[in-house]
Amino acid sequence: MREPFEDSVSITSRNPHRLLRRAGLVAGVLASFLVVLACVGAVYQQLSTNRDKRLNPLPGLLVDVGGYRMHVYCIGQGTPAVVLDSGLGDTWLSWYKVQPQIAQFTRVCSYDRAGMGWSDPSPKSRTSSVIAAELHSLLHNAGIPPPLVLAGHSFGGLNMRMYAGLYRADVAGMVLVDSTPDDMGRFPAELKNYNETFLRREDLKRDTMPLGIPRLIGWCGNGPYEIRAMLRTVDCRPQPWREHLAEYRASDESRAQVRESMPLGSIPLIVLSHDPGDPTDSFAKAMEKAWSEAQQDLTRLSTRSSRVVAKGSGHNIQVDRPEVVTTAIRQIVDECRQQSAVPTAAR
């Protein structure tokens, strides 16, 4: 007597087309389900984007810089004006604690690099030399004249150094906020693996953004409650992630450009560094040691420089210890005023 299992095998073998039809039906149902999910996600993403823009309108101005517009937000009065540039993947919002404090003693402008935040994408490469030239056009077209005090966080520090190299006469002083070094040779080899993992994760966020997945599961728009709604508005869209990754992939070229740029000479400079803490992991220890050495090297960019370690802060010093950043910028502003005898703003 045949076992039931043997019967089923025999029947299946005599009806291969039936099995294929069933597999095709299952695959078709799954494909249809995925298409429906993708459509629902795309509609959710678009409706959410439109709602965010309606509820959180753009502050400041959109200024034409040659066929595309860039966003700049200025408050306060006085000279020299302070210009703020954010870290990789960040927007003007990263200065939300510092900018109002600076506005109490001078004019201060934050902005979005092309393709980031409210700014239109640029057809040009995302290297520091291009970014500095775009910023120069933005400031000129927005009516923000020199002298300028430049403050750059992380990748923004590279851009501000590039700006000073290209437009030396416009720059009165500089504050580098845990600035990216121009030479990564001293950092541990494991950093390459870390960066590759980071890029894969960021690629996934970019690719799934049109379907609303990062928005739905909280991969974008996270941050302090005070700015979360605006963060979601500018962050939960595909364009900023494309630009962010383009800047990251061009960072080696940007560092090379900055290394070859004009030195700062006697421009007043303050280097702010994060608190290294007391890491126990060997990779973290090596990273902190290399970062601290690179930060000390930055003080050699100017003959009038100093360095401050912001105790109790991580990489985002302007968020963790905003008063340290404000104090450093005010020191540079006051020094520039004394040197040039520019009338001061009301204090």
Residues 295 and 211 in one domain: yes
Number of domains in the chain: 2
Tell me, yes or no, whether 345 lies in a domain: no
Q: Do 50 and 66 fall within a single domain?
A: no
Residue 39 lies in a domain: yes
- The CATH number given to whatever domain includes residue 161 is 3.40.50.1820
Domain extent for 224: 62-340
Residue 194 lies inside a defined structural domain of this protein: yes
Tens-binned pLDDT, residue by residue, of the chain (347 aa): 444 444 444 444 456 667 766 766 666 656 665 666 667 767 777 788 888 888 888 999 999 999 999 999 999 999 999 999 999 989 999 999 999 999 999 999 999 999 999 999 999 999 999 999 999 999 999 999 999 999 999 999 999 999 999 999 999 999 999 999 999 888 988 888 888 888 888 888 888 888 888 888 888 888 888 999 999 999 988 888 899 899 999 999 999 999 999 889 999 999 999 999 998 889 999 999 999 999 999 999 999 999 999 999 999 999 999 999 999 999 999 999 998 764 544 44
Any residues with CB less than 8 A from the CB of 39 and at least 6 apart, and which? none
* Token output for 317: 């010093």
Q: Are residues 50 and 177 in the same domain?
A: no
- What phi, psi does 22 have (nearest 5°)? -65, -45
Residue 160 sits in the same domain as residue 22: no
What is the distance between the alpha carbons of residues 63 and 292, in angstroms, rounded to a whole number? 38
Residues 197, 325, single domain; the answer is yes
Of 76, 268, 92, the residue nearest 84 (C-alpha): 92
Q: Are residues 111 and 33 in the same domain?
A: no
CA angle 173, 274, 315 (to 5 degrees): 95
Cα 299 to Cα 165: distance, rounded to the nearest angstrom: 16
- Pair 227, 302 in one domain: yes
Do both 238 and 283 map to the same domain? Answer: yes
User: Do the Cβ atoms of 274 and 294 come closer than 8 Å?
Assistant: no
Whether residues 104 and 242 fall in one domain: yes
- Are residue 49 and residue 100 in the same domain, yes or no? no
